[in-house]
Amino acid sequence: MLLDFILPLAKQNKDLGIQLFSEDAYVLLLRLLVNMTFLTILIRYLYYPKTKRKDYLFTYYLIGTITFFLCFGLKKLDIDTGMGLGLFAIFGIIRYRTDAIEIKEMTYLFLIIGVSVVNSLASNNISIAEMAIINLTVVLLTYGLENLWLVKHETRKTINYERIDLITPEKYDIMKADIEKRTGITINRFEIGKIDFLTDTAQVRVFYFADDQSFSDYSAS
């Protein structure tokens, strides 16, 4: 009974140029599963543990998903101009007319977009195994950079320092020891910025190694 109802309806929609279902739906579901799997590895298990930025989890997942669907849909249309304009629009919305995004966040955003584009545009000449190799290479390289080769992250803080009698070059070591004692941070180096003799203060930017950069100047929103 159900087939007797669906088949005439499907034939009617086909005559009108509308398809209720096609074989590409299986391809879409499979590639979407692969894409979401590797996006989750990159976003949730590589990016988030290092930065603790939940706002970017929201952004990365949605941009990765909409990029995947947009590229898959444009590929179905087989319009080269439309594909180019679509990709241009994707990269054009990155700024969102908001505050500038940090370099690391921008790198992850590029990874998310790139992986989504590859997973959606892979043709019949590219096997699932080849797609897996591409995705695994990106994931393993990112993991290696985050956890093996770049375990220590040099981050920074800007402080207002009132002992301007120590800002002279010959008292560098004394000033460094004083800042370390008062902040509890082992400093690699520091830079002296704006000096205000009216208030006897100076802005000092200190650089140090830290596994968590969530409270540093680099990740300030």
The predicted-structure confidence for 91-104, as pLDDT tens digits, reads as follows: 666 555 556 677 77
For the chain, what is the mean pLDDT? 77
User: In whole angstroms, how far apart are CA 188 and each of 111, 152, 198, 207, 210?
Assistant: 31, 12, 29, 6, 11
Residue in this structure with the two tokens 């929201």, named with its chain if needed: 58
- Which pLDDT does position 6 carry in this prediction? 46
Tell me the C-alpha distance between 153 and 192, whole Å: 21
- Which pLDDT does position 124 carry in this prediction? 60
Which residue ranges make up each domain of the chain?
A: 2-149, 153-210
- Which pLDDT does position 217 carry in this prediction? 61
- Which pLDDT does position 3 carry in this prediction? 45
Residue in this structure with the two tokens 């505050």, named with its chain if needed: 99
Give residue 2's pLDDT band: very low, low, confident or very high (50, 70, 90).
very low
Q: Which of 160, 210, 215 is nearest to 182 (CA)?
A: 160
Tell me the C-alpha distance between 156 and 70, whole Å: 39
pLDDT tens digits for 132-180? 888 999 999 988 887 777 556 677 888 999 998 998 989 999 999 999 9
Tell me the C-alpha distance between 176 and 171, whole Å: 9
pLDDT-above-90 percentage for the chain: 20
Give residue 56's pLDDT band: very low, low, confident or very high (50, 70, 90).
confident
Residue type, 22: S
